[in-house]
């Protein structure tokens, strides 16, 4: 077979098998999210539980709430969000920064706007396998300046998790995951390998792109594209403006799912136990008994 490219790194490009427009809905306290994964038509895309493109303006936000059994990955696009948890872990996630939070057996925290104007970002919920659901909570945080950014042939990539263009992220993914933030200049053509056994999707942030096959029609912002089987993604920017999207992939867990909002376990029995633990401040929720975030306190809760 003649090689048309100097280096063909995707032999069997993944097709786009489903496409969703993420519409706005209200979540938290007056916050607006465009939820793609996690809405009723797409409850779960193993191992991904939710993908929200969020938009919060004070006094809206996500005051004190719990998590158990999964990870939340917050990647800021504009503005800043302050978080504080029941163990005293606190910080501000600014545009371009990343917070990779492993809730494990339990986190209670608040996530609130840190600045005037509208704060925007992405929050991805990644499931944990049964043997990792009750691990100790852990944070991995990266400032924008520390996230590797590589540019080649009109393609810029910020390597949040996994590797691209020969650069590897230091983030440890308990559930094997890749998370890449691509910007393609007009005319650019991308080939990005994805492990064949993984589920993967694209979420378009800006501009318009062609994904999966050069014959497909262009896709615009706020669309989620589920990719079918193959060994990688091919994408083209045939427009006259920059194209920005994220590519996320993960190894499916293949386990039963029992979910009650922010509690994600394998069985209903474990969910009942989790409600019990949350109500009684046990098995990881001990510190929730006497804790209230400063944000909630200031709002008069
Ligand atoms: C949550 C409702 C929620 N998407 N994107 C119910 F809104 C939330 C929640 C978030 C969230 C937070 C940020 Cl910073 C960004 C989000 C949902 O906090 F956890 C439950 N259970
Ligand atoms: Fe949260």
Residue 297 within a domain? no
Nearest atom, ligand 1, residue 65 CA? 19
Is the residue at 5 inside a domain? no
Kindly report the protein residue whose alpha carbon is nearest to atom 15 of ligand 1.
Answer: 123
Residue 284 in any domain: the answer is no
Calpha distance 166→67 (Å, rounded) = 34
CA 290/CA 48 separation, integer angstroms: 32
**Best probe residue, ligand 1, of 26, 27, 48 (max atoms within 8 Å of C-beta):** 27
Answer whether residue 262 shows pLDDT above 70: yes
Per-residue pLDDT for 210 more than 70?
yes
- Is 67 labelled a binding residue? yes
* The two three-digit tokens of residue 124, written as one number: 């991805």
Ligand nearest to the CA of 36: 1
263-265 and 62-67 as β-strands: parallel, antiparallel, unpaired?
unpaired
Query: Does 89 show up as a binding residue in the annotation?
Result: no
Please give the angle made by the CA atoms of 135, 141 and 144, to the nearest 5 degrees: 155
**pLDDT above 70: residue 72:** yes
Domain harbouring 152, CATH code: 2.60.120.10
Pocket test for ligand 1, best of 22, 25, 28, 33 (most atoms within 8 A of CB): 28
Is the CB of 82 within 6 Å of ligand 1? no
Does the Cβ of 85 fall within 6 Å of ligand 1?
A: no
Give distance in angstroms: CA of 240 to centre of ligand 2.
38
Report pLDDT digits (tens) over 133-174: 999 999 999 999 999 999 999 999 999 999 999 999 999 999
Q: Looking at the domain assignment, is residue 151 inside a domain?
A: yes
Among candidate residues 297, 248, 300, 270, the one with its CA nearest the CA of residue 106: 270
**262 CB less than 6 Å from ligand 1?**
yes
Q: How far is the CA of 175 from the centre of ligand 1 (A)?
A: 21
The DSSP H or E segment spanning 269 is: helix 268-280
Taking the CA atoms of the chain, what radius of gyration do you get in angstroms?
Answer: 19
Residue 269 lies in a domain: no
Q: pLDDT tens, 7-54?
A: 669 999 999 999 999 999 999 999 999 999 999 999 999 999 999 999
Mean pLDDT over the full length of the chain: 96
Residue 301 binned pLDDT confidence (cut-offs 50, 70, 90)? confident
Minimum-distance ligand to the CA of 92? 1
User: How many folded domains does the chain comprise?
Assistant: 1
**C-alpha 101 to ligand 2 mean position (Å):** 9
Q: What is the pLDDT, as a whole number, of residue 2?
A: 44
3-state class (DSSP) for residue 294: helix
Residue 8 resides in a domain:
no
Contact 80, 93 (CB under 8 A): yes
In a domain, 32, yes or no: yes
Residue 55 Cβ inside 6 Å of ligand 1? The answer reads no
Q: What is the pLDDT of residues 73-123, one digit of tens each?
A: 999 999 999 999 999 999 999 999 999 999 999 999 999 999 999 999 999
Which residue range forms the structural domain that includes residue 246? 19-250
Distance of CA 236 to the CA centre of its chain: 23
Contact 62, 72 (CB under 8 A): no
């Amino acid at each position: 077979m003649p090689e048309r490219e100097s280096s063909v790194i995707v032999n069997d490009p993944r097709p786009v098998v489903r496409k969703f427009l993420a519409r706005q809905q209200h979540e938290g306290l007056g916050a607006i999210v465009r939820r793609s994964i996690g809405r009723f038509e797409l409850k779960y895309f193993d191992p991904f539980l939710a993908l929200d493109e969020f938009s919060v303006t004070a006094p809206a936000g996500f005051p004190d709430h719990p998590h158990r059994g999964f990870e939340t990955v917050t990647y800021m696009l504009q503005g800043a969000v302050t978080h504080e948890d029941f163990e005293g872990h606190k910080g501000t996630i600014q545009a371009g920064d990343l917070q990779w939070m492993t809730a494990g057996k339990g986190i209670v925290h608040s996530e609130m706007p840190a600045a005037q104007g509208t704060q925007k970002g992405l929050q991805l919920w990644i499931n944990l396998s049964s043997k990792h659901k009750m691990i100790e909570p852990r944070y991995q945080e990266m400032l924008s300046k520390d996230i590797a950014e590589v540019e080649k042939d009109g393609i810029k990539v910020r390597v949040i998790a996994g590797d691209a263009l020969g650069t590897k992220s230091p983030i440890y993914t308990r559930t094997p995951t890749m998370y890449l933030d691509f910007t393609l200049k007009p005319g650019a053509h991308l080939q990005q390998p994805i492990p064949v056994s993984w589920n993967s999707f694209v979420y378009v942030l800006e501009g318009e792109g062609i994904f999966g096959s050069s014959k497909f029609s262009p896709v615009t912002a706020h669309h989620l594209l589920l990719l079918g089987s193959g060994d990688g993604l091919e994408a083209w920017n045939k427009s006259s403006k920059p194209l920005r999207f994220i590519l996320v992939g993960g190894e499916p867990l293949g386990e039963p799912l029992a979910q009650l909002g922010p509690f994600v376990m394998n069985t209903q029995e474990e969910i009942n136990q989790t409600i019990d633990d949350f109500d009684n401040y046990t098995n990881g929720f001990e510190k929730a008994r006497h804790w209230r975030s400063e944000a909630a306190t200031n709002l008069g809760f």
